[in-house]
C-alpha cells in the first residue's frame, strides 16, 4: 500500500489513511466505469455550477485568474477549469494521483487556447507557508476527508485574494446520506469502494456556514446535487450532496 513517495511532503490536513485509500484508486481515476464513476457522473453539474459562481477566467486586463483545485486527485475538475480559461494549479497529497493526472494530461493535451495547468503533490499547509495566493479555489468532495474542516477552510481563506471565491462540494450528515451515500453507494450498489467515506465526517450546511464565518467568509449561494435518469441536476434538496459558494467581501 503506497502512502506517498519519499519526496512528497508530510500532509497536515489529510490523514495518511485517506491518502493511501485514494492512492490505490489513482490508476483508474479517469475510467468513467471505474471506482471514480460517481465523480465522473456528477462532474458536469459541479463544474457548470462552479463556473457560474466563480469570477470570469480573465481579469479586466485579459490575464487569466489563478485557480487552486485542492484535493484534485488525477484532475477531473482541474482539466475542466483549465479548459474554461483559468490558470490552474492542481494540488493533492497523493503522489500516485498526481502522477496519474500528469500522465492523463500528457496523453490527452488540453485544447489549443486552454490556460496553463500544473500539478503539485503537497498540502494546503505547504502553499500557505509559501505565501501562495489565488483568485479562486475549488475544494470538491474534499472537506469531508480532512482532519480538521474548520482549520482547512481557514487555510483556504488565507490563500484567497480579496474578492475571491471558494467553491466547496461535500455531503450532508443526515440519515438519508448514511443510507444512500454510505451504505447504499459502498455496500449495496458498490458504486464506491468500501471505506471511501466516513459518515460521521460529513458536514451539515450549518456547520459549513459556521466554518466559513470563522474564516472570514460568507456563504453566498448553496444548492443540492441529486442524481437522476438524465444525470445529476441542481436541486433545493441539500439532504445528501450539496455545493456552496463562499466569498470574501
pLDDT along the chain (249 residues), means of 10: 34 71 87 90 96 96 96 96 97 95 96 90 92 97 93 96 96 88 58 68 96 97 93 95 93
What are phi and psi for residue 200, nearest 5 degrees?
Answer: -65, -15
**CA of 23: how far to CAs of 12, 41, 169, 196, 204, in Å?**
17, 20, 21, 12, 27
Write down the pLDDT at residue 158. 96
Which positions make up the binding site?
46, 71, 92, 140
- Gap between the Cα atoms of 47 and 188, Å rounded: 28
Write down the pLDDT at residue 116. 85
Please give the grid coordinates belonging to residue 13. Answer: 490536513
Which positions make up the binding site for S-adenosyl-L-methionine?
46, 71, 92, 140
Condensed to tens digits (0 to 9), the pLDDT of residues 42-80 reads 999 999 999 999 999 999 999 999 999 999 999 999 999
- CATH number for the domain whose boundaries are 16-247: 3.40.50.150
What are the residue boundaries of the structural domains of the chain, listed by start? 16-247
What is the reported pTM? 0.89
Rg (CA), the chain: 17
Strand-pair partners of 95: none
- Gap between the Cα atoms of 80 and 85, Å rounded: 9
Write down the pLDDT at residue 179. 82
Write down the pLDDT at residue 183. 64
Write down the pLDDT at residue 111. 92
Amino acid at each position: 500500500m503506497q502512502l506517498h513517495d519519499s519526496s512528497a511532503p508530510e500532509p497536515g490536513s489529510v490523514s495518511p489513511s485517506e491518502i493511501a485509500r485514494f492512492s490505490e484508486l489513482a490508476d483508474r481515476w479517469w475510467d468513467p466505469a471505474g471506482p471514480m464513476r460517481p465523480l465522473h457522473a456528477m462532474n458536469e453539474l459541479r463544474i457548470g455550477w462552479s463556473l457560474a459562481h466563480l469570477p470570469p477566467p480573465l481579469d479586466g486586463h485579459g490575464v487569466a485568474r489563478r485557480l487552486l483545485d485542492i484535493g484534485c486527485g488525477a484532475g477531473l475538475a482541474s482539466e475542466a477549469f483549465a479548459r474554461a480559461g483559468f490558470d490552474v494549479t492542481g494540488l493533492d497529497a497523493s503522489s500516485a494521483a498526481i502522477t496519474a493526472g500528469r500522465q492523463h494530461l500528457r496523453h490527452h493535451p488540453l485544447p489549443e487556447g486552454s490556460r496553463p495547468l500544473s500539478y503539485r503533490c503537497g498540502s494546503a499547509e505547504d502553499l500557505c507557508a509559501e505565501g501562495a495566493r489565488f483568485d479562486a479555489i475549488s475544494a470538491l468532495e474534499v472537506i469531508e476527508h480532512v482532519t480538521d474542516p474548520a482549520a482547512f477552510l481557514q487555510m483556504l481563506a488565507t490563500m484567497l485574494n480579496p474578492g475571491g471565491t471558494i467553491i466547496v462540494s461535500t455531503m450532508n450528515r443526515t440519515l438519508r446520506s448514511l443510507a444512500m451515500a454510505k451504505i447504499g453507494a459502498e455496500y449495496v450498489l458498490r458504486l464506491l469502494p468500501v471505506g471511501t467515506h466516513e459518515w460521521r465526517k460529513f458536514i451539515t450546511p450549518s456547520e459549513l456556514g459556521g466554518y466559513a464565518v470563522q474564516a472570514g467568509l460568507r456563504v453566498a449561494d448553496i444548492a443540492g446535487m441529486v442524481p437522476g435518469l438524465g444525470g445529476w441536476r441542481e436541486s433545493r434538496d441539500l439532504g445528501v450532496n450539496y455545493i456552496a459558494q463562499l466569498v470574501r467581501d
